[in-house]
Amino acid sequence: MFEFLMSGSLILLVLSIFACLYRVWKGPSMPDRIQALDTIGITLVGGVAIFSVLLGTHAFLEVILIVGILSFIGTIAFARSLERGVVIERKRVD
């Protein structure tokens, strides 16, 4: 029963990743695509956590932190590029 529930939630997470991929591909505007990429990162974190519970190991917990950090930095870089046109500034303007 437990493994059935875990496998079912993994399948649902994969389906939601596919929904986010549709939004990345189709998204009318750029912020939609960035939001969808961030949501894919969060869903990956959840999937790794469920996989770790399913296998009964804590070897994947570092993966969760690394994916969270990289998704955070990637979203910030996309937002900077969208708002100012330049990702890393040479000299601050204000």
Partner 1 sequence: MKRPNDLLLRAVSKVAVLIILTFSINLFYSGHHNPGGGFIGGLGVTAALILLFLTYDIETVTDNLPVDFKKVAAIGVLIAVGTGAGSFFFDAAFLSQTFGYFDIPVFGKTELATAVLFDLGVALAVIGSAVTIIQTISEDE
Question: Using the rule CB under 8 A, is 83 a contact of partner 1?
Answer: yes
Q: Scanning residues 30 to 59, which ones bind partner 1 (CB under 8 A)?
A: 59
Q: Please state the closest distance from residue 31 (CB atom) to partner 1, in A.
A: 15
Find the farthest-apart pair of alpha carbons in the chain and give their distance in angstroms, rounded. Answer: 59
* Count of residues in contact with partner 1, rule CB under 8 A: 23
Cβ neighbours, 10 Å, residue 19: 13
Residue written as token pair 């990743």 = 17
d(CA 41, CA 64): 10
CB closer to partner 1 out of 21 and 70: 70
Task: Write down the least CB distance from residue 63 to partner 1, Å.
Answer: 8
Query: Applying CB under 8 A, does 87 fall inside the site for partner 1?
Result: yes
Which of 92, 85, 93, 48 has its CA nearest to residue 70?
Answer: 48
Q: How far apart are the C-alpha atoms of 30 and 81, rounded to whole Å?
A: 11
- When asked if residue 66 is in the footprint of partner 1 (CB under 8 A), the reply is yes
Contact positions vs partner 1 (CB under 8 A): 59, 62-63, 65-66, 69-70, 72-73, 76-77, 80, 83-84, 86-94
